[in-house]
């Protein structure tokens, strides 16, 4: 049974697609956050510079953008996972129940 | 049951009646606040009564029978995360330091996308009631459950101390209740919610509180922005003119001073969030992976929105509160009740007595909801992990397990009250940091590797997880707050120079788990590695998962 699922093409596709997508998004989030942290640690003046001559600094839109970015990333993942990945996962289950009925 | 709930409310009223004797530093009793608080308490006790009728099985108690929808669960998660500490604390931080408050918020938020990508649906597919169900899936039950329960109870207890002390002080100021009464009141109400209503009541208390808090803060931010003609530039302009730090509040300050602290804080917040037992437990309340994902999406959106509001409120308070002598404690040079009260005073400044009452009641509700979630997570670690799976070896009658979980709830509640009173005058600044450090170093590495790393063995998980836990605790003790400020009166005296040990303790945990797993050549280890395939299929597809099949 385990071997059957492991060699099921939909299962292989599901595992490879989801894991590569999840890791890519994770790395993207980490890069954005740690880039922000590194700027804070090494050259905070970049974020303290005036945005367009006024009081508002570059750091304000950057900070708000990171918050929005985090939310958008979760939306992108949920959208693909609740569609494409769940379809693949359901396909694996269907294949499985067919095979059980044939046995 | 009805009688007990009635008794609880009578007790609560009598506390208020007796609590008017002169305590220094408190506001006059705000009648609107007390009325709204009672409305909340009666409504939530009503929900508890309703939930108690539906809480029969162990699954009902721990996970509300898995019947919570993704949107509801996401709102409840946001409720768990938007504690009084973050509502008052982050607004206060923005009020006091400006931009640094935003940095802090970002750190708390960015863990959520990672939780979604890496562990939320995996947890749902593999677990049942507690995260130890996942870590012990293919490893030996006894050592792994003991480690997980220890990590959970330590995290929950530390977090509870912070919440209880914070709530005692807050209620003292808002309602004029003596500190001890406030702590006892919170403790008794939370025991009531959890012991009778289980996860269903806890979830709905959390949802109601999250909605009230979001409505209140939205209104405050709207009023602040309208004061400045909806121009951020005008708001910043006026704030920098009146703030003691002037233009500096628009730039990063001293919050993140060196790269090691910066990375370490980032790791603590990110991995710590992914190792908090009361948060992880919420993923078992939904039916399947789809709803688990949706929960994180909703939670991230609400939490992110809330953090943007705290930033606006903090700046609003700089202009509208710091200039008004009505809110200032001239002798101390701070706000009345301390700078963490910025949000509360702002509520009065924009909405008068009635709205102040509303926000005070919401702040109290927030504390009640968060401590209930913590208590439930702690009680589950005791009844499900220690009692049912370690002591009774999994052969347990469900009624008995539920009974144990209720006793555990009462015990945790009493311990929380005692610790809350004992720590009243202590410096507890290290407590939440330590809770996050333990969650990040003991809970998260074992959980993460049990899901993703085939070669993990019981020996590796147990030794590595314990090393991570010990390192976190030791480094916090040797650090600037405990060894420095508390024991030697000077942060510089610390043996370990960094406030956040996570960078080191998480590394120790991962290396320890890795080393003691790959060198483990026992028969058991071989079986545990072989069991990974079956686990991974369930993890990937949900086949065989609890409540996640054929729908």
Q: What percent of chain B has pLDDT over 90?
A: 62
Query: Residue B17 pLDDT > 60, yes or no?
Result: no
- Total domains present in chain A: 1
Distance from CA of A101 to the nearest CA of B (A): 16
The backbone torsions φ and ψ at residue B264, rounded to the nearest 5 degrees and listed phi first, read -65, -40
Q: Supply the pLDDT for residue B486.
A: 84
- Band of pLDDT at residue B480, cut at 50, 70 and 90: confident
**Are B129 and B63 a contacting pair, CB within 8 Å?**
yes
Q: Supply the pLDDT for residue B381.
A: 95
Mean pLDDT on B181-192: 93
Q: Which domain holds residue A51?
A: 10-98
A78 touches chain B (CB under 8 A): yes
At B355-389, the pLDDT tens digits run 998 998 888 888 888 999 999 999 999 999 999 99
Of A26-35, B260-269, B426-435, which has the strongest mean pLDDT? A26-35
- Whether A43 maps to a domain, the answer reads yes
At B69-100, the pLDDT tens digits run 999 999 999 998 898 878 888 999 999 999 99
- Whether A4 maps to a domain, the answer reads no
CATH of span B2-541: 1.20.1730.10
Which ipTM did the prediction report? 0.94
A89 touches chain B (CB under 8 A): yes
B112 touches chain A (CB under 8 A): yes
Query: Which of B540, B542, B544, B550 to substitute to test the interface with A, most A CBs within 10 Å?
Result: B540
B531 touches chain A (CB under 8 A): no
Of B110, B116, B257, the CB nearest to A77: B116
Which residues of A are less than 8 Å from B262 in CB distance? 37-38, 40-41
Q: Supply the pLDDT for residue B23.
A: 41
Inter-chain CB proximity A26 and B300 less than 8 Å: no
Q: What percent of chain B has pLDDT over 70?
A: 93
At B136-181, the pLDDT tens digits run 999 999 999 999 999 999 999 999 998 898 888 888 877 778 899 9
Q: Supply the pLDDT for residue B24.
A: 42
| Series of mean pLDDT values for 10-residue runs along chain A (103 residues) | 86 93 96 90 88 90 96 97 92 84 72
In chain B, the residue whose alpha carbon lies closest to the alpha carbon of A46 is B251
Q: Supply the pLDDT for residue B68.
A: 95
| Sign for the pseudo-dihedral over CA of B308, B284, B547, A103 | positive
Inter-chain CB proximity B237 and A55 less than 8 Å: yes
Q: Supply the pLDDT for residue B169.
A: 83
Distance in angstroms (rounded) separating the CA atoms of residues B250 and B246 = 8
Query: What does the DSSP assignment read for B386-455?
Result: IIIIIISTT---HHHHHHHHHHHHHHHHHHHHHHHHHTTTS--HHHHHHHHHHIIIIIHHHHHHHHH-TT
- Whether A103 maps to a domain, the answer reads no
B116 touches chain A (CB under 8 A): yes
- Whether A15 maps to a domain, the answer reads yes
- Whether A35 maps to a domain, the answer reads yes
- Band of pLDDT at residue B548, cut at 50, 70 and 90: very low
């Amino acid at each position: 049974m385990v071997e059957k699922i492991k060699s099921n093409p939909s299962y292989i596709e599901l595992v490879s697609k989801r894991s590569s997508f999840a890791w890519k998004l994770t790395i993207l989030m980490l890069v954005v956050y740690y880039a922000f942290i590194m700027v804070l640690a090494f050259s905070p003046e970049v974020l303290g510079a005036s945005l367009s001559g006024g009081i508002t600094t570059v750091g304000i839109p950057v900070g708000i953008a990171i918050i929005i970015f985090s939310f958008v990333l979760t939306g992108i993942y949920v959208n693909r996972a609740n569609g494409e990945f769940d379809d693949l996962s359901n396909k694996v289950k269907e294949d499985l129940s067919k095979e059980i009925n044939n046995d | 049951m009805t009688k007990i709930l009635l008794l609880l409310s009578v007790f609560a009223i009598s506390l208020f009646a007796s609590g008017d004797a002169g305590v220094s530093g408190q506001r006059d009793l705000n009648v609107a606040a007390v009325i709204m608080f009672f409305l909340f308490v009666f409504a939530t006790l009503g929900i508890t009564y309703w939930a108690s009728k539906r809480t029969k099985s162990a699954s009902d108690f721990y996970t509300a029978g898995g019947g919570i929808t993704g949107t509801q669960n996401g709102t409840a998660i946001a409720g768990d995360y938007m504690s009084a500490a973050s509502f008052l604390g982050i607004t206060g931080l923005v009020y006091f330091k400006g931009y640094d408050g935003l940095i802090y918020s970002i750190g708390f938020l960015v863990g959520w996308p990672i939780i979604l990508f890496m562990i939320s649906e995996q947890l749902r597919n593999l677990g049942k009631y507690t995260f130890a169900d996942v870590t012990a899936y293919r490893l030996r039950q006894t050592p792994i459950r003991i480690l997980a329960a220890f990590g959970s109870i330590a995290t929950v207890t530390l977090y509870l101390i912070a919440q209880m002390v914070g709530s005692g002080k807050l209620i003292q100021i808002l309602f004029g209740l003596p500190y001890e009464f406030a702590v006892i009141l919170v403790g008794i109400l939370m025991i009531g919610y959890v012991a009778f209503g289980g996860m269903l009541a806890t979830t709905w208390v959390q949802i109601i509180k999250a909605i009230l808090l979001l409505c209140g803060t939205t209104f405050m931010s709207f009023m602040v922005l309208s004061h400045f003609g909806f121009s951020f530039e005008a708001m910043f302009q006026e704030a920098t003119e009146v703030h003691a730090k002037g233009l500096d509040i628009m730039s990063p300050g001293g919050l993140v001073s060196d790269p090691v602290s910066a990375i370490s804080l980032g790791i603590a917040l990110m991995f710590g969030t992914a190792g908090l037992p009361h948060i992880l437990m919420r993923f078992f309340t939904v039916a399947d992976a789809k709803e688990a994902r949706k929960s994180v999406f909703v939670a991230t959106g609400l939490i992110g929105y809330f953090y943007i509001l705290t930033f606006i409120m903090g700046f609003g308070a700089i202009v509208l509160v710091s200039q008004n002598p009505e809110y200032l404690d001239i002798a101390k040079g701070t706000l009345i009740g301390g700078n963490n009260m910025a949000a509360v005073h702002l509520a009065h400044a924009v909405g008068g007595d009635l709205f102040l009452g509303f926000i005070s009641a919401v702040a109290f509700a927030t504390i009640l909801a968060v401590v209930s979630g913590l208590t439930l997570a702690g009680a589950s670690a005791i009844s499900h992990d220690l009692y049912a799976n370690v002591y009774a070896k999994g052969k347990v009658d469900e009624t008995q397990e539920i009974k144990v979980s209720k006793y555990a709830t009462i015990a945790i509640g009493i311990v929380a009250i005692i610790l809350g009173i004992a720590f009243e005058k202590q410096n507890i600044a290290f407590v939440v940091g330590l809770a996050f450090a333990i969650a990040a170093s003991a809970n998260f590495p074992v959980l993460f590797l049990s899901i993703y790393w085939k070669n993990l063995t019981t020996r590796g998980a147990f030794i590595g997880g314990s090393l991570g836990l010990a390192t976190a605790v030791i480094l916090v003790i040797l650090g600037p707050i405990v060894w420095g400020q508390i024991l030697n009166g000077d942060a510089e005296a610390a043996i370990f120079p960094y406030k956040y040990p996570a960078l080191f303790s998480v590394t120790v945990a991962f290396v320890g788990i890795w080393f003691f797993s790959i060198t483990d050549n026992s028969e058991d280890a071989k079986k545990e590695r072989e069991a990974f395939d079956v686990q991974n299929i369930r993890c990937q597809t949900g086949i065989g998962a609890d409540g996640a099949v054929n729908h």
